[in-house]
Amino acid sequence: MLAALAVTPGCSDPRAGDSAPNVTFIGMDDARFDLASLRGRTVLLNFWFYNCVGCVAEMPHLSDLWAEVSSERDDVTFLSVNHGDSKQRIRDYWEEGGFLHPAVRQEGSDVSHAFGVIAYPVNFVIDPKGDVLYAAAGWDEPAIREALDSTAK
C-alpha cells in the first residue's frame, strides 16, 4: 500500500490520490518550467536543502535509484527541489556527490508551500496524469519503488 502524509494540516497540500499543484521550477540553467509540462511522465519530487542531515543522507540513495530507473525507463523524471541554497552551493554539492538526476530551484518557497512541505526531506511520486501516488517524509525505498513501478507500462 502506498503511503500518504499530511504535512500541513488545514492547507490544500496534495496527498495520495489528489492532483499535484502546477508549480514552476527553476532549472540550474535559470530556465523556468511547470510541473504540468511533465504530464505523461512519472515524476519523483524530492524536497531538500544542503544543511539538512537527512536530505544529505538520502541523496546518494536517490541518485542510485535514478541511475537504475533511468536505465530501464524513459518515462520517469526525478527532480530534487532545493529550498534556500544558492545556485553555486547546489552545483558544488552535485559535483561533489556525482549526482546525475536534475536539481531544480524554486522562487522563495513557492513550490514547498504548494506541496505543504514543512519538514525535510520529503518525497512525492506523481503519476503521468498529474496525480500524487505517494507522499512521505524520509527515505522509504520500497514504498517509492512500489509507486514508481505502479506506473510502468
Q: Is residue 97 part of a domain?
A: yes
Residue 1 has pLDDT above 60, yes or no: no
Q: Which of 73, 77, 80 is nearest to 27 (CA)?
A: 80
Q: Is residue 4 part of a domain?
A: no
How many C-alpha atoms does 136 have within 13 Å on its Cβ side? 15
Q: Tell me what pLDDT residue 24 has.
A: 95
Residue 127 has pLDDT above 90, yes or no: yes
What is the full DSSP assignment across the chain?
-------STTS----TTSBPP--EEEETTS-EEEGGGGTTSEEEEEEE-TT-HHHHHHHHHHHHHHHHHHHH-SSEEEEEEE-S--HHHHHHHHHHHT--SPEEE-STTHHHHHTT--SSSEEEEE-TTSBEEEEEES--HHHHHHHHHTT--
How many C-alpha atoms does 82 have within 13 Å on its Cβ side? 22
Q: Are the CB atoms for 54 and 135 separated by under 8 Å?
A: no
Q: Is residue 54 part of a domain?
A: yes
Q: Is residue 70 part of a domain?
A: yes
Q: Is residue 92 part of a domain?
A: yes
105-118: per-residue pLDDT in tens? 999 889 999 999 98
Q: Is residue 2 part of a domain?
A: no
Residue 34 has pLDDT above 70, yes or no: yes
Confidence of residue 145 (pLDDT cuts 50, 70, 90): very high
Q: Is residue 96 part of a domain?
A: yes
Instruction: Report how many domains make up the chain.
Output: 1
Residue 8 has pLDDT above 90, yes or no: no
Range of the domain at 73: 42-149
53-69: per-residue pLDDT in tens? 999 999 999 999 999 99
Residue 83, domain CATH: 3.40.30.10
Q: Tell me what pLDDT residue 6 has.
A: 35
Q: Tell me how far apart the alpha carbons of residues 35 and 23 are, in angstroms, rounded to a whole number.
A: 6
79-101: per-residue pLDDT in tens? 999 999 999 999 999 999 999 99
Q: Tell me what pLDDT residue 37 has.
A: 96
Confidence of residue 14 (pLDDT cuts 50, 70, 90): low
Q: Tell me what pLDDT residue 135 has.
A: 92
Q: Is residue 76 part of a domain?
A: yes
